[in-house]
Structure formats: C-alpha cells, structure tokens
Amino acid sequence: MKAIIQIPCLNEEETLPTTLADLPTEIDGIDRIETLIIDDGSTDRTVEGAIECGVDHIVKLPNNRGLATGFQAGLDACLKLGADIIVNTDADNQYSGHDIPKLVRPVLDGEAEMVVGDRDVAAIDHFSPSKKALQKFGSWVVRQLSDTEITDATSGFRAYSREAALQLLVVDNFTYTLESLIQAGKGRVAVGEVPISTNEKLRESRLFGSTSAYVRRNGLAILRIYTRYEPLKVFSALAAVAGVLALLAWMPFLLDWIVNGDRSGHLQSLLLGAVLFIVAIQLFALGVIGDLLAGQRVMTQRVFERVRRIELQLGVEPSHALEPGRRADPEPGKAAPADLPTPAGRD
C-alpha cells in the first residue's frame, strides 16, 4: 500500500520546510509514504528548498496556472507514480500533518473513497466572525447541492482512494475544493469527513484578498459548478421566475377583462408580459440544451477516466514531472548544468 502526499506550491520557500517536517513518516496500514510538490510557477527557491528537504517527486508547471490546475496535475502524477491513496495538503502548514493517519483511516478501512478534514471553522481564532459565518453558510449550500454531509466544504486537507482519484476531473480554473465535492456527490462517490486540527497561521491567504472577494469568487464558483452539473434545474427555476413575473405583468389586463369585460388598454403590461414569457421559454430551452450537454460531459468524463487507466497500463510518465535534483529544460541556447541532467524522457 503506497500513499503519496501532494502539496501545491506557489512561492512557498519560507513555509514549505515546516510543512514537510510536520508530515508523518509512518502510517499503520501503509507500506510506503512519498511526498510530491506541485510547483505552480514559483519565482523563489521553492523547488530547491523542496529538494534540500528530501521530497520524492516534483511536478513543475512552466508558469502560474492556479490552484485547481496544480491540484489536477498533482493528482495525475500521483496516479502514474502508483499511489493507492493520495493526500492533499497546503504548503502554508495550515493543516497538521499529524492528522494524516486519521485522514486516511476511512479509506484504508473501506468506509470512504474521499475524506475531507473538518477544521471546526468556528474554533479557528484568526478567522473573523464574518468569515466564519460565510464559511458555515457556504458549506451548507454545497451540502445541498452535492448531496453530501461535509461540514467544511472549503477544506483542502483531503484523502482520495485510487478509484476516486481516477474519476475526478476538475475543470474550474480557480479552486478544486467545491467542484470536487459536488462532482463526488453527483457521481455517488463515498465521501466522509474526520475532525482535524490546524496550526498557527504563517502567512495570509493568497486566494482571497478580502472577505468580499471571498464571497464573490466562491459564490460565482458554486453557481457555475452547479449549473454545469444541474443545468435543467437551474434554468427551469429561472424560467419559472420569469413566467411568474409575466403573469403578474398580465394581471391588470386580465382582471380588467374578467371583472369589467374591458379588453382595451394596458398595452405596456401586455408587452412586458409577452417579453417575460418569451424569456421564460428561452430559459427553459437553454436548460434542455444544457441538460443534453451535461450528458455529454458525463460521457467525456468517463472517456477521460478510461484514458487515464490506459495511460497507467502503458506506463505513461507524469506530465511536467522532475526527479528531485533535476531542473526544467534550460532556456533556448543554454546548456543544462552538468550536475543537473535534463528530465527523463526529453532530448
């Protein structure tokens, strides 16, 4: 049984050594533990520091592509490196590495395929009251949308079984936490959670500059992701709202006609109602089209899963992966250092 702990990184030279030092070296039921960092276009010594700390694998993206892309790249690399369990944690040492054995236990026991660490947000001192309330409300919304019972939806401290990781395809370009939960719920993946502890804050969050930015980006992400998975429900609800507004716009004309028998006048109300009724029909049509596209998305996801399995059978190497002690290709016209050969599989 092999577990790989992956850590997405962006300029984490100062905090990464602390995070790596906190990781467990032994877990009951796991024979081998390896570490993998995803360097998302860092401009500091993140990679060199990781090598000095003895990480087993490095995935180096050529430029900054965002947390979701880095997470997906790390997941792909972990699968191709033979991981039976994949643990995801943050490089800022927010999550306690001592809780990893607790996190993977439900996967080892066959009780869950995906496990999320519950930080008990209400007890985190450096979270403001407004952020705690928003976290609680956002997690409640995600629970309703995903049909899961996860208390802390934005927690990035997670464990995945090999089968769950094979099925996971994150396309959101901002964060993976919400989409992976909704996708898991819709895909009937067994999702569990365990209580975890957090460490003292070493730096400010780089995902959100303010509470308003947090609300705006997460709110839009939830709406976009849910629309992607349940377009007919979303557009049918919008069509129903437009239909009700159309009926309300027609009410003055209808009441005058029914009560007084007068069908003259109320031209503005009739026009407004007609426009709203046409909007309702168009929204419903968009829902039907979206539902057809959602079916295609499911088929695409299944094809992607099969491609992954074929790649694993063929032994395809991870994309952008470097062995520790190696660097990315040099700039054109420059030779690679003699003591650091170019990555395997490249000329």
Q: Pick the closest to residue 308 from 105, 101, 90, 78 (CA basis).
A: 78
Each residue's pLDDT tens digit, 18-70 = 999 999 999 999 999 999 999 988 898 899 999 999 999 999 988 888 888 88
Residue 122's pLDDT is what? 73
Q: Do 221 and 240 form a contact (C-beta atoms < 8 A)?
A: no
Give the integer Cα–Cα distance in Å for 154 and 9: 18
Return d(Cα 238, Cα 244) in angstroms, integer.
10
Residue 174 is predicted with a pLDDT of: 67
Provide the token pair at 17: 């050594």
Residue numbers of the chain with a pLDDT score lower than 50: 325-347
DSSP E strand boundaries for the chain: 2-9, 32-40, 57-61, 85-88, 114-118, 158-161, 191-195, 321-322
Q: What is the spatial distance between Cα 66 and Cα 14, in angstroms, rounded to a whole number?
A: 20
Q: With contact defined as beta carbons under 8 Å apart, do 86 and 6 qualify? A: yes
Sole residue written with tokens 């009410």: 251
pLDDT at residue number 58: 92
Global model pTM greater than 0.85: no
**Residue 317: predicted pLDDT:** 83
Alpha-carbon span 82 to 284, nearest angstrom: 46
∠ Cα 104 109 114 (to 5°):
50
